[in-house]
Structure 1
Amino acid sequence: MGWNEFLFLLTGLKWTVALSAIGFVGGGLFGLGVALLRTSGIAPAERVTAGYIALFQGTPLLMQLFVVYYGLALIGLKLDAWVAVAIGFTLHASAYLGEIWRGSIEAVPKGQTEAAKALSLHYVSRMKDVILPQAIRISLPATIGFLVQLIKGTSLAAIVGFTELTRAGNIVSNQIFQPLLVFGIVGILYFLLCWPLSLYGSHLERRMAIASR
């Protein structure tokens, strides 16, 4: 295990971070739309988004990546592995974050909405200035917890040939025939990436528990 092999693992780590960031940010943007539609009171929109969430929560992430990468190729839409996994993780994250944020919006006391309506605030202002700031605070521990899961889930991108940290570890292991050493280092890198986020999520959860007493 030389310096070049370690640098290759760090390159894989870089792509893991990039893929996690794209999936989380893109999923957050789409997830916000899903959450708003789920709580809009418009029956067709609520049913469609409920089905969307059920589809992605009820099927394995690995299958979703397969469908995006190989399924679209069958209908003539051949995507680069990087683009395919970015789309797959964005769709996956949007369903989970949409449901997390839907629950957070509904957890805001109904009196807040009624007070905003009494002040004649229209829907956009009511959500932007009253409901969402409180909902985001409520959702932070669960959102950070999902981000940790998303980072670890990026290892599945290796199945379609995308070289992130896990695939980089597999390549190095096949070259130097030291799988325990290589994947020990890979595990440590994942731990160093996820552990601070887990601690921060736990810290936020404790703070919210104290504030709610």
Structure 2
Amino acid sequence: MGIQEFTYLLQGLKWTLFLTAIGFAGGITFGILIALMRVSPSPWLRIPAVAWIGLFQGTPLLMQLFVAYFGLPLLGFDLPAWGAVAVALTAHASAFLGEIWRGAIQAVPRGQSEAAHALGLHTFSLMVDIVLPQAFKLSLPATVGFLVQLLKGTSLAAIVGFIELARAGTIVSNQIYRPLLVFAVVGALYFALCWPLSLWGRYLERRLGAGTAK
């Protein structure tokens, strides 16, 4: 495999990172909303959030990519391939991150909320100043772990013809007829991205666990 083929793989890697960043940023934005709806006392907010989480956690990401790619044009949204993939990844990430953060929010000791109410704090101040900062720390290891899964999940975008790292590897392999070498390089690139993130997640888990034990 020459420099030209390796450069092509790096172009695919660029799109893998781009899709991961878009999906994760969108998942954070909508995941916070889903988490807040999930812990709301109002059933009008809580039930749609439960349904959203159930839908995207209970169906394969591959199917969600197909629905976004082929279904959105039927609704009048003529998106490029990367846009449809980004929508699917954002919806997928929002469901998982929303549930992760819902658990973190509910893990904050209830006594703190009761004390805040006794001091006359409004619900908005309670969430922003007291609950969410603590929930953010509690959810960090699981959030990083999901980021690793999302990065690897972008490889499914190849099924709708989008050329990210995995699809670029397939194209190069078909050109030079050396699949073992090509996908060893592809696997090494995924490993170089995912392994440090996994180590960071485990470090955060140990650090937060030690802090809780104290």
TM-score, normalising length from structure 1? Answer: 0.98
Aligned to 2:2: 2
Is residue 69–residue 84 contact of structure 1 (8 Å, CA) maintained in 2?
yes
**1:22 maps onto 2:18 in alignment:** no
- Partners of 2:77 and 2:65 lie apart in 1 by 14
1:16-63 residue CA offsets vs partner (Å, 9 max, x unmatched): 011001100111000000000111111121111000000000000000
Aligned to 1:80: 80
TM-score, normalising length from structure 2? Answer: 0.98
- Partners of 1:44 and 1:130 lie apart in 2 by 25
Aligned to 2:140: 140
- Partners of 2:76 and 2:26 lie apart in 1 by 25
TM-superposed CA distance for 1:76, in Å, is: 4.2
TM-superposed CA distance for 1:87, in Å, is: 0.5
Structure 1, unaligned runs of 5 or more: none
Q: Which runs of 4+ in 1 moved over 4 A?
A: none
TM-superposed CA distance for 1:119, in Å, is: 1.4
1:49-84 residue CA offsets vs partner (Å, 9 max, x unmatched): 000000000000000000010122334433210100
Corresponding pairs, count? 213
Structure 2, unaligned runs of 5 or more: none
TM-superposed CA distance for 1:121, in Å, is: 1.0
- Partners of 2:171 and 2:89 lie apart in 1 by 23
SS of aligned partner of 1:146? helix
Q: What root-mean-square deviation, in Å, do the aligned CA atoms of Structure 1 and Structure 2 show?
A: 0.8
Percent identity, aligned pairs only? 64
Aligned to 1:60: 60
SS of aligned partner of 2:163? coil
Is residue 69–residue 78 contact of structure 1 (8 Å, CA) maintained in 2?
no
SS of aligned partner of 2:36? helix
Written as runs of structure 1 = structure 2, the 5 A alignment for 1:23-172 is 23-172=23-172
